[in-house]
Each structure stands twice: as structure tokens, then as C-alpha cells.
């Protein structure tokens, strides 16, 4: 069969769709870059926001219009709305998250054990999903009960993957050409807590750096309450560990955080950020923020704005609050009017854009190591390269040859519209 795979949403979704692709390859089937060339399409959906749910439906409809023979819908939106997903044109089967790892074995009639015994190189997906980094799923589900979050309902209770399975995935990704490994999970920082007392994500990270030759290791989103100051000692001894931490804040007001059921405060978050910056002074700290959460008054929003400005984030994902049926927040009193939500989103965006620009300015004249993710030939001027530095900043430069999938040093010369421009170093 010819298989088309696509996904939207988080890095965990990307990790899962890459793993599904590896299983199809191991089963002797071909992955194709276009839905119109496929006998079967598998779409991994998202439900984190109403926009993500809408995009999931649009994606399924698009691949059907483009001529995919049959469509399998999986992921969070399909799990939460199986009847609606099954009613979409072309959908042959709906596979909930709880059965996603068995999607390919069940479809092909091949025992799961065969895939475990005969791993293949974890190559990037063809077409637009071609990547230079591999997202490795180390954990799924979440035991937190943040009042705005639908993902906990869609993904279920938290559970960790064994180290052996994670190492096998990493070795497969490296053999497939990945230059950077990104560890992902719904609640990444909880890894190991269901194994034995005292197990912590730091043990997994140290083990990966010790047991593999991964050029770069990056961590995805980490809840602030899962970390302590000792965690940051990992960066002092491991230059391959990317100096970038994404610590979701959601609100900078303690009262709002309590309504969100977030296990952090202004004071604890500030201490954590200070510890990270003490360990790696130029570390990029990024975050998530929600504008217009139910009950958020003007004074609460002012507290968030002041706190966010003081934290000097390198960047942030800012979400306009949207009600998700089934969550506690959806029924809270005093919803913020939609125009106010959008206006607060814009104000937070302006604050973060300013701090992000200041962070980028630190690196003008400095040398960064960049993993090149795209290349476009310019003729006599060489190749126009685009990539990501170890701290997560986007960098563009011109090179005498195609450097795609390589890590090279770049001397940064300017900041143009939020992208750093550089010169390939001769060092």
C-alpha cells in the first residue's frame, strides 16, 4: 500500500506519526508525500483549542478531496469526537489514543512484537514533513487537572515509556539521519515517577547523553513544578543539551493560576527562572500564556502583564482563551468578553515581542551553532540556508554549498524581522 501521513498540533503528535510511519515501512509499505497518491491516509488530530479541532476536520476533508483512498482518523480530536470523526467523508476507521500504538499492527494483521524485534531507521516523513530532528515520545497522559485543559481527558492518565524503548527509538532516529533529538510527552517532567520513588526526568536525560552519540538533545515543554534547582546542573556538564527551556506559565497572576489549578506561583516561577539563568546565562526561556481566562479582571491581567515583562522571555505561545466542553473552566462564572480576550492577547504579544527582540540582540556579533533545516539555491551567490540555533533562535545565512542536515558555526550579523542573519564561520 501507499500511505500518506499527516498531523497537526504538538510535538508529541509529530513523534507518534513518525513512529506510525516507521511501522508501515517495517511492514513493507511505501510512504508517499501527497494524499492524492495514497491508498490510505492516517491523520493525527489535535483538540487543544477550538482552532486546532477545526483544523483537524479541515485536514481530514482535504486529504479526502485530494484523492486518498481511505482515511483513518486518530489523535485527540478524533478520540473526543469519534462519531463526528467517523461521519467525515472518506473516514474508514477512528482509532482512539488508547489504541494508537496498535493502529498499524491491527490494520496489517502483524503482531506488535514483530515491530519491536525488527526496528528500522526512523527516517523523516516524505514531502512537507521532511525534518532534520526527531521527536521522541517518552511519556503520555497527564495526572494534572488544569481546569482549561482538554488534553488530559483525551490522553488519559500519565504513564512513562521504559528507557530501553526510548533508547531504541533514539538509535533508530540517529541511524535515519536525525541530528537533533527532542524529548516529548504530555507531561514530560513526570517521566519515571510511575516507575520507582526518586526516578526523575534528569536520570533519563543523563542516560541518553551517556549512552548515545546524539549531536543535540532538546527538551520540549516542562511544567515548572516538576523541576528543582539541581535539574539545571545537567547543562553545566553537557554542551550537547540545548540551552532552551519551555516552561508553561499560562498566567502571571497568582489568583488566576489558582483558578487554573496550576501548581506554581509568581515567586516559585521567578526562582526557577533565576536558577536556570544562573546555570546558563544565555539560556532561552520560553513559555505559554492564556489571555482572557474566565474571571480574569483588569487588575489580574495587569499583574500578568507586569510579571511577563519582568521575566524577559525569549518568546511565548499566546493563546486567546477558548471554552473546551468537558473542562472545568468552561462552566466558570464571569467569562471575559471575546473582544477583551483578543485585546489582551495583543497586549501580551507586544510585551513578548519586545523581550524576544532584546534576547535576539544579545547574539548580534556572536557565533552560534545552527542545524540547517532548509536550503534554496541562489545561483552565483550560493545557497540560502535556514536553520535553528541551539537556543531555538531561527537563523538564515548564505553558504557556498548545501548544508542541509549539518550543524555548522554561524557568526550572527543582524536581526531582520525576527530572524537572525549570519555568516558561515570559517572556524
Domain that holds residue 395: 367-424
What pLDDT, on a 0 to 100 scale, did the predictor assign at position 32? 93
Neighbours of 391 (CB within 10 A): 22
Residue 417 lies in a domain: yes
Q: Is residue 317 in some structural domain? A: no
Cell of 6: 499527516
Q: Give the C-alpha separation, 57 to 121, whole Å.
A: 31
Q: Is residue 195 part of a domain?
A: no
Find the mean pLDDT for residues 391-398.
95
Task: Please check the confidence at residue 129 and state whether its pLDDT lies above 60.
Answer: no
Question: Is residue 412 one of the residues assigned to a domain?
Answer: yes
Tracing cell 541562489 back to the chain, one arrives at 378
pLDDT score for 322? 93
Concatenated DSSP letters of 29-58: -EE-S-GGG-SEEEEEE--SSHHHHHHHHH
pLDDT digits (tens, 9 = 90+) for 196-220: 888 899 999 999 999 999 999 999 9
In the predicted structure, residue 341 carries a pLDDT above the cut 80: yes
Q: What is the pLDDT of residue 61?
A: 96
How does residue 116 score in pLDDT terms, banded at 50, 70 and 90?
low
Looking up cell 512537507, which residue turns up? 128
Cell of 172: 533508530
**Parallel, antiparallel, or unpaired: how do β-strands 180-184 and 133-137 relate?**
parallel
pLDDT of 127: 59
Residue 400: inside a domain, yes or no? yes
Q: Which CATH number fits the domain that encloses residue 394?
A: 2.40.50
Return the pLDDT at 72. Answer: 97
Question: Is residue 426 predicted with pLDDT exceeding 90?
Answer: no
- pLDDT 10s digits, 288-298: 999 999 999 99
Per-residue model confidence as pLDDT tens digits over 59-95:
999 999 999 989 999 999 999 999 999 999 999 999 9
For residue 319, being part of any structural domain is answered with no
> Does residue 396 form part of some domain?
yes
DSSP H stretches of helix in 280-319: 298-311
pLDDT of residue 114: 65
Q: Give the pLDDT mean for 302-316.
A: 98
Question: Which grid cell is 272?
Answer: 526557577
* Predicted confidence band of residue 301 (pLDDT cuts 50, 70, 90): very high
**Which triple of cell numbers denotes residue 166?**
526510548
Q: Which residue has the higher pLDDT, 301 or 129?
A: 301
pLDDT tens readout for residues 227-244:
988 899 898 879 999 999
Report which of 136, 201, 131 is spatially closest to residue 169, judged by C-alpha positions: 136
Is residue 162 pLDDT above 70, yes or no? yes
Across all residues in the chain, what is the average pLDDT?
Answer: 92
Query: Domain tally for the chain?
Result: 1
State the burial class of residue 66 (Cβ atoms within 10 Å of its Cβ: 0-12, 13-18, 19+). Answer: middle
Q: Which pLDDT score is estimated for 379?
A: 72
| Exposed / middle / buried, residue 261 (Cβ in 10 Å: 0-12, 13-18, 19+) | middle
Task: Say if 384 falls within a structural domain.
Answer: yes
Amino acid at each position: 500500500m501507499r500511505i500518506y501521513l499527516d498531523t497537526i498540533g504538538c510535538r508529541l503528535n509529530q513523534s507518534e506519526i513518525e513512529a506510525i510511519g516507521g511501522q508501515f515501512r517495517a511492514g513493507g509499505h511505501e510512504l508517499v508525500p501527497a494524499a492524492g497518491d495514497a491508498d490510505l491516509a492516517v491523520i493525527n488530530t489535535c483538540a487543544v483549542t477550538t482552532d486546532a479541532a477545526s483544523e483537524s476536520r479541515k485536514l481530514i476533508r482535504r486529504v479526502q478531496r485530494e484523492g486518498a483512498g481511505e482515511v483513518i482518523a486518530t489523535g485527540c480530536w478524533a478520540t473526543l469526537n469519534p462519531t463526528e470523526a467517523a461521519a467525515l467523508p472518506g473516514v474508514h476507521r477512528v482509532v482512539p489514543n488508547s489504541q494508537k500504538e496498535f493502529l498499524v499492527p491491527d490494520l496489517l494483521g502483524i503482531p506488535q512484537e514483530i515491530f519491536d524485534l525488527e526496528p528500522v531507521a526512523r527516517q523523516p516523513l516524505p514531502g512537507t514533513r521532511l525534518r532534520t530532528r526527531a521527536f521522541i515520545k517518552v511519556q503520555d497522559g497527564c495526572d494534572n487537572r488544569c481546569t482549561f485543559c482538554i488534553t488530559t481527558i483525551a490522553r488519559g492518565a500519565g504513564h512513562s515509556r521504559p528507557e530501553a524503548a526510548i533508547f531504541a527509538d533514539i538509535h533508530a532516529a540517529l541511524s535515519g539521519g536525525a541530528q537533533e533529538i527532542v524529548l516529548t510527552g504530555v507531561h514530560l517532567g513526570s517521566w519515571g515517577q510511575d516507575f520507582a520513588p526518586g526516578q526523575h526526568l534528569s536520570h533519563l536525560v543523563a542516560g541518553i547523553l551517556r549512552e548515545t552519540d546524539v549531536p543535540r538533545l532538546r527538551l520540549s515543554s516542562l511544567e515548572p513544578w516538576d523541576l528543582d534547582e539541581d535539574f539545571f546542573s545537567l547543562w553545566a556538564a553537557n554542551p550537547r543539551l540545548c540551552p532552551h527551556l519551555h516552561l508553561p506559565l499560562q498566567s502571571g497572576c497568582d489568583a488566576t493560576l489558582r483558578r487554573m489549578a496550576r501548581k506554581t506561583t509568581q515567586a516559585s516561577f521567578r526562582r526557577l527562572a533565576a536558577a536556570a539563568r544562573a546555570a546558563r546565562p544565555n539560556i532561552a526561556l520560553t513559555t505559554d500564556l492564556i489571555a482572557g481566562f474566565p474571571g480574569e479582571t483588569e487588575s489580574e491581567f495587569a499583574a500578568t502583564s507586569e510579571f511577563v515583562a519582568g521575566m524577559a522571555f525569549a518568546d511565548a505561545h499566546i493563546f486567546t482563551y477558548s471554552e473546551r466542553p468537558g473542562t472545568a473552566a468552561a462552566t466558570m462564572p464571569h467569562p471575559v468578553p471575546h473582544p477583551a480576550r483578543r485585546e489582551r492577547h495583543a497586549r501580551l504579544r507586544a510585551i513578548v515581542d519586545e523581550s524576544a527582540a532584546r534576547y535576539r540582540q544579545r547574539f548580534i556579533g556572536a557565533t552560534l551553532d545552527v542545524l540547517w533545516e532548509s536550503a534554496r539555491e541562489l545561483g552565483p551567490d550560493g545557497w540560502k540556508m535556514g536553520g535553528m540555533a541551539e537556543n531555538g533562535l531561527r537563523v538564515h545565512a548564505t553558504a557556498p554549498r548545501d548544508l542541509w542536515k549539518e550543524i555548522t558555526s554561524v557568526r550572527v550579523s543582524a536581526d531582520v524581522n525576527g530572524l537572525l542573519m549570519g555568516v558561515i564561520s570559517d572556524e
